[in-house]
A and B are shown apart, each in its own frame.
Chain A
């Protein structure tokens, strides 16, 4: 059995007295892809933000391999070097060309030689179909292109695990698949990932395991086949139903004009 990369142990987090995470536990093994779904406000994003220390947890523990990473205030950057994170809003550095965006972390944070990183960055850009965009500014890219660059930027740090926080939520529908294909490619390459998403079909396609979060607790956990086709809790069933339309307009039924129903 593969090693455990990440262990989240009964973590709690509240903002202004409101419990956002109320005892969440989670283990992710090497090469495993865990998708976290749930209604908005259920704590999905907060969970990811707690894992790489963007939010401090109130209670519980987070371990990365054999190192406890929660509750520290010093050297958080060393932890974050091992955890890649990509957000909904891409957050490329607007004052740097694509290549400089990619080089910053590996050369400054890890101190790698520029040439070596540049070569690798070029290869990865080619893999995501953006080789010719290496020397342009982010503002000239489409949303989908920006997000692919953001994924490459995180991957160049060679993280132990990638956290993806609704990375397609801000994209036009036709750009979603170009980004998600990159993620599926990463999963095939054995990347360990925790993914928060609203794309249920993508979740089903990429996940080894699905976590259903509701009001700060894990309500259901299982394989995608089981979760999407035979959820055990009523709440999960209702959540999944919200992605289909309950009522349809009967197109044969012609309404007279200016009839407001009276």
Chain B
């Protein structure tokens, strides 16, 4: 392992990591918002929007991100709609992530016991109050592991951004490898960079999950 090579290119990777992390995070936040909207449209059975949400989710989950990006970056300009590479990256990641987040939220909502909904109704809460105080907190707690899994998945998916000529981690490594030929060092640093970004996310996920469990969940395990 050539440590001088590694030391001299650390800052290239820091730059790449910044692109990966920044656009990954934009995509994750927009995905959460879009996913929540789709999930609500389905949960409240909002006409038209509900069907749109289902169609969108299936489309987004069953096509690769790479294809979605090509469509945005190379396809849409042909009909006169042009986005910058950065915009394409965020839109593409949101398009993919929104579908996964919607499904995660939905799994949480569906896991809420029907008896809980009735108990909320029985103490005279309006439907809206019931959702806010009884249903959502429990649904969110159930959805947390799936939501975090999606966050990690989406940040990893940013490696596809290199096709948009964005200098993310993947592209930085690829450029170094083709110009210098130090494949081992280049790939070692690439793996380390992803780990440094994603391991903390995993740790936070575990902490949040544990906290939620301590907060009184797993009710059925005690009698």
Contacts and interface: CB of A to CB of B under 8 A. Distances in A.
B122 A85 contact: yes
Contacts of A81: 123-124
Interface stretch (A32-40, A102-110, A119-127, A219-227): A102-110
Choose among B122, B216, B221 the residue with the greatest number of A CB atoms under 10 Å from its CB.
Answer: B122
Nearest to A84: B122
Contact of B123 (A54, A109, A137): A109
Nearest to B213: A139
A254 B87 CA distance: 88
Nearest to A97: B216
Contact of A80 (B113, B124, B215): B124
Nearest to A54: B118
Given A91-B118, A137-B216, A142-B223, A108 B138 contact: no
How many of chain B's residues touch chain A, expressed as a range? 20 to 34
A139 B125 CA distance: 23
A217 to B, nearest CB: 26
A206 B142 CA distance: 41
Interface stretch (B26-34, B129-137, B162-170, B186-194): B129-137
Contacts of A52: 122
B2 interface: no
B121 to A, nearest CB: 6
B116 interface: yes
Contacts of B133: 93, 104, 108
Interface string A127-158: 00000000001111111000000000110010
Contact of B134 (A93, A139, A140): A93
A140 B138 CA distance: 18
A50 B155 CA distance: 50
A78 B125 CA distance: 8
9 contacts: A76-B121, A77-B127, A78-B124, A91-B113, A96-B216, A104-B125, A105-B124, A143-B223, A154-B122
Top-5 shortest CB links A-B: A81-B124, A105-B123, A137-B216, A91-B119, A94-B219
Interface of B: 113, 115-116, 118-127, 129, 133-134, 137-138, 141, 215-219, 221-223
Given A91-B118, A97-B216, 10 more contacts: A52-B122, A54-B121, A77-B121, A82-B124, A87-B118, A93-B134, A95-B217, A109-B125, A142-B223, A154-B122
